[in-house]
A and B are shown apart, each in its own frame.
Chain A
Amino acid sequence: MSDRKRFDRVLIANRGEIALRIQRACRQLGLETVAVHSEADAESRHVREADVALCIGPAPAGRSYLDTDALLLAARVTGASAIHPGYGFLSENADFADAVEAAGLTFIGPTGASIRLMGDKITAKRAMRDAGVPCVPGSDGPLPASMDEVQALAAEVGFPVIVKASGGGGGRGMRVVWDAKDLAEAVTLTAKEAQQAFGNPTLYLERFMQKPRHIEIQVLCDTHGTALWLGARDCSLQRRHQKVLEEAPAPGIPPAVIAQIGARCAEACRKIGYRGAGTFEFLYEDGIFAFIEMNTRVQVEHPITEATTGIDIVCAQLKIAQGEALAIRQEEIVTHGHAIECRINAEDPFSFMPSPGTISRWDLPGGPGIRVDTHVVDGYTVQPYYDSLIGKIIGHGASREEAIARLRVALAEMRVEGVSTNLRLHQDVLADPRFQEGGVDIHYLERWLAERTTS
């Protein structure tokens, strides 16, 4: 095997904190970085620190971070031989992954075929079922055209059921049906909406789990047949299907249960020839895991797994893309303590409307067990064009209690002026007795917010 690197200059096709995170990993491995950016991000930290910086378009993402042709041209003109897509934007775009490889460049992520397989909820679920990953009872494929058959299927699955658009995502294109008499209308309406929103009326249905938790398994796979699982994360605290706070490991779920599901995920990766970092997302209720989807990229919440396992996931992505074999074995992976991540957004703490503006004060917390991932510096302007994440505060401790205590101190000493943030929301959540008990379901935060508003 050759020691020659496949690439020594990486184009980072992203912005914000993840672009800086990727840049740090590249520099640590002795790789040069190319920061491509929109006009709005010209002053970003990772742009200033890049070996090569190139403005590729105006602020709207469609003409910059999502412009496939511009990105490929930029890679060629700057001499980058690999592209890291980060999360969001083009990270789960199979055609982009294929185009990168077709251009003779390395895509730091799975193959286009893997992304495509996992990007369609029906094919993903079928592949996972075949690979032995537990799925929620459901139609296991597109709904039949005959409403009688749909009724029979729903009766077998058991009400309540949820009708979903195959091409949907992010909470759009789905409808819960509590009773057989309402099924026909729900199917008709959802198909119509799906056609309008996604250009694809294909639906599937499955059992609606009423108070599940969101549990996910991080995996890392090299191109030499090794697939590892790196423990579980609990991301149940969500608002409108957006994660707000995540923790690792998942409180109250026995490690042996996680180990069993983790091993199945790793096995599934081997079966589909998965490469790079990925996450299997599950709903978990009454001891039952139900596969929802696989994210074929690095995730926002990857630092909590890095904290508990000691594995640098982004460096691992780069090494895997270079063709290196993973240097660790499954039995060497042990999780230490507990880690919690708070996503700090520039948003109104009550209305949750984005709060763009210039940050006039930015005092960050520190101390043992506190990690801050942010691209923001004093004087940074939060742009209205992109998502409102301005940083992530990660607290790690020997126990969950210690992690919570460290985070509460950290959040209390953080000072942000010039924009509104959700810091207070995180402080309130961490102080909430039910959260402190652990194991709240995915609807808990919304219920809690509704009560806060009315009381």
Chain B
Amino acid sequence: MTGPSKVIPDLDTLPDIEEIGQIATWLAEAGVESVELSSCVGGRLRISVAPVSLPVGQGVIAQPVPQPAAVELVAAKAPFFGRLCLVRPPGEDAFAPVGSTVHKGDIVALLTLETLQVPVTAPVDGEIVEIVGRAGDLVGYGAEILKIRPGGV
């Protein structure tokens, strides 16, 4: 068997049902009751395996969370906490104003803590449709900063 890191798919897209079934079978074989995968873009997949009294395979229950529709917006979230800065220092040049397009990995905001600056990056390619965070606010880890409509740019 290959290592799980190779076969557990990236959650940017939901794995197909055969893949989920395969993962569940491995969990049951390993005696693991459940596993939850989450992606930085907010997708979550929880797979629970029924108690082992059931024959392996038949006791497998896959419970995927609803698949985000392709048009659903994706949030860029704070990877740390800090004061939100939406413009490139020192000027007034906004990182990613509404209507602009970004590539996955582009810096879309900064979190500042004294001299420390932590970049917030775009989780996907797409168009900025909403700025959720307010500049200057103290935002916590995981807070939504802005929303992106995914799409080729």
A positions within 8 Å CB-CB of B:
39, 53-58, 64, 70, 73-74, 76-78
Stretch at the interface among B7-15, B63-71, B85-93, B140-148: B140-148
Q: Do residues B142 and A77 form an inter-chain contact, with CB atoms below 8 A?
A: no
CB under 8 Å from chain A, chain B span 98-148: 113-114, 116, 138, 140-143
Q: Do residues B82 and A39 form an inter-chain contact, with CB atoms below 8 A?
A: no
Q: Do residues B140 and A77 form an inter-chain contact, with CB atoms below 8 A?
A: no
B44 within 8 Å of A (CB atoms):
no
Given A77-B82, A77-B138, check contact A55 B114 (CB 8 Å): no
Q: Do residues A39 and B142 form an inter-chain contact, with CB atoms below 8 A?
A: yes
Q: Do residues A54 and B140 form an inter-chain contact, with CB atoms below 8 A?
A: yes
Q: Do residues B141 and A57 form an inter-chain contact, with CB atoms below 8 A?
A: yes
Give CA–CA (A429, B80) in the complex, Å.
Answer: 46
Given A54-B81, A55-B81, A56-B81, check contact A77 B141 (CB 8 Å): no
Q: A56-B81, A73-B116, A77-B82 are in contact. List 7 more A-B contacts (CB 8 A).
A: A53-B140, A54-B138, A54-B140, A55-B140, A57-B141, A70-B81, A73-B113
Given A54-B81, A55-B81, check contact A76 B141 (CB 8 Å): no
Q: Do residues A55 and B138 form an inter-chain contact, with CB atoms below 8 A?
A: no
Tell me the minimal C-beta distance from B60 to chain A in angstroms: 21
Q: Do residues A56 and B116 form an inter-chain contact, with CB atoms below 8 A?
A: no
- Chain B neighbourhood of A53, CB < 8 A: 140
- Chain B neighbourhood of A70, CB < 8 A: 80-81
For chain B, which range describes its interface: under 10, 10 to 19, 20 to 34, or 35 or more residues? 10 to 19
Give CA–CA (A70, B82) in the complex, Å.
Answer: 10
B positions within 8 Å CB-CB of A:
80-83, 113-114, 116, 138, 140-143
- Chain B neighbourhood of A73, CB < 8 A: 81, 113-114, 116
Q: Which residue of A lies closest to B78 (CB)?
A: A55
Q: Do residues A58 and B141 form an inter-chain contact, with CB atoms below 8 A?
A: yes
Given A73-B113, A73-B116, A77-B113, check contact A39 B141 (CB 8 Å): yes
- Chain A neighbourhood of B142, CB < 8 A: 39, 55, 58
Tell me the minimal C-beta distance from B32 to chain A in angstroms: 13
Q: Which residue of B lies closest to A76 (CB)?
A: B114
Q: Do residues A55 and B141 form an inter-chain contact, with CB atoms below 8 A?
A: yes
Tell me the minimal C-beta distance from A353 to chain B in angstroms: 10
Tell me the minimal C-beta distance from B52 to chain A in angstroms: 14
A–B Cβ pairs within 8 angstroms, 7 of them:
A39-B141, A55-B81, A55-B143, A58-B142, A70-B80, A73-B114, A77-B82
Tell me the minimal C-beta distance from B12 to chain A in angstroms: 19
Q: Do residues B141 and A56 form an inter-chain contact, with CB atoms below 8 A?
A: yes
- Chain B neighbourhood of A57, CB < 8 A: 80, 141
Q: Which residue of B lies closest to A77 (CB)?
A: B113
Tell me the minimal C-beta distance from B49 to chain A in angstroms: 16
Give CA–CA (A39, B77) in the complex, Å.
Answer: 12
Q: Do residues A77 and B83 form an inter-chain contact, with CB atoms below 8 A?
A: yes
CB-based closest 6 A-B pairs? A55-B140, A55-B141, A39-B142, A57-B141, A54-B140, A73-B113
Tell me the minimal C-beta distance from A274 to chain B in angstroms: 34
Give CA–CA (A53, B143) in the complex, Å.
Answer: 13
- Chain B neighbourhood of A78, CB < 8 A: 138
- Chain B neighbourhood of A64, CB < 8 A: 141
Give CA–CA (A55, B142) in the complex, Å.
Answer: 8
Give CA–CA (A273, B142) in the complex, Å.
Answer: 43
Give CA–CA (A144, B72) in the complex, Å.
Answer: 68
Give CA–CA (A58, B82) in the complex, Å.
Answer: 15
Q: Do residues A56 and B140 form an inter-chain contact, with CB atoms below 8 A?
A: yes
Give CA–CA (A53, B142) in the complex, Å.
Answer: 14
Give CA–CA (A348, B6) in the complex, Å.
Answer: 35
Q: Which residue of A lies closest to B83 (CB)?
A: A77
Give CA–CA (A77, B138) in the complex, Å.
Answer: 8
Give CA–CA (A70, B116) in the complex, Å.
Answer: 12
Give CA–CA (A211, B22) in the complex, Å.
Answer: 52
Give CA–CA (A76, B115) in the complex, Å.
Answer: 12
Give CA–CA (A447, B101) in the complex, Å.
Answer: 67
- Chain B neighbourhood of A56, CB < 8 A: 81, 140-141
Give CA–CA (A78, B83) in the complex, Å.
Answer: 11
Q: Which residue of B lies closest to A64 (CB)?
A: B141
Q: Which residue of B lies closest to A37 (CB)?
A: B140
Q: Do residues B81 and A74 form an inter-chain contact, with CB atoms below 8 A?
A: yes
- A55, A56, A58, A78: residue with the most chain B Cβ atoms closer than 10 Å: A55
Q: Which residue of A lies closest to B36 (CB)?
A: A384
- Chain A neighbourhood of B113, CB < 8 A: 73, 76-77
- Chain B neighbourhood of A74, CB < 8 A: 81
- Chain B neighbourhood of A58, CB < 8 A: 141-142
- Chain A neighbourhood of B81, CB < 8 A: 54-56, 70, 73-74, 77
Q: Which residue of A lies closest to B112 (CB)?
A: A77
Tell me the minimal C-beta distance from B83 to chain A in angstroms: 7
Tell me the minimal C-beta distance from B87 to chain A in angstroms: 20
Tell me the minimal C-beta distance from A294 to chain B in angstroms: 35
- B81, B116, B142, B143: residue with the most chain A Cβ atoms closer than 10 Å: B81
Tell me the minimal C-beta distance from A69 to chain B in angstroms: 10
Give CA–CA (A56, B113) in the complex, Å.
Answer: 13
- Chain A neighbourhood of B83, CB < 8 A: 77
Tell me the minimal C-beta distance from B76 to chain A in angstroms: 16
Tell me the minimal C-beta distance from A367 to chain B in angstroms: 39
Q: Which residue of B lies closest to A63 (CB)?
A: B141
Q: Which residue of B lies closest to A57 (CB)?
A: B141
Give CA–CA (A74, B114) in the complex, Å.
Answer: 11
Give CA–CA (A77, B80) in the complex, Å.
Answer: 13
Give CA–CA (A70, B113) in the complex, Å.
Answer: 10
Tell me the minimal C-beta distance from A347 to chain B in angstroms: 15
Give CA–CA (A65, B140) in the complex, Å.
Answer: 14
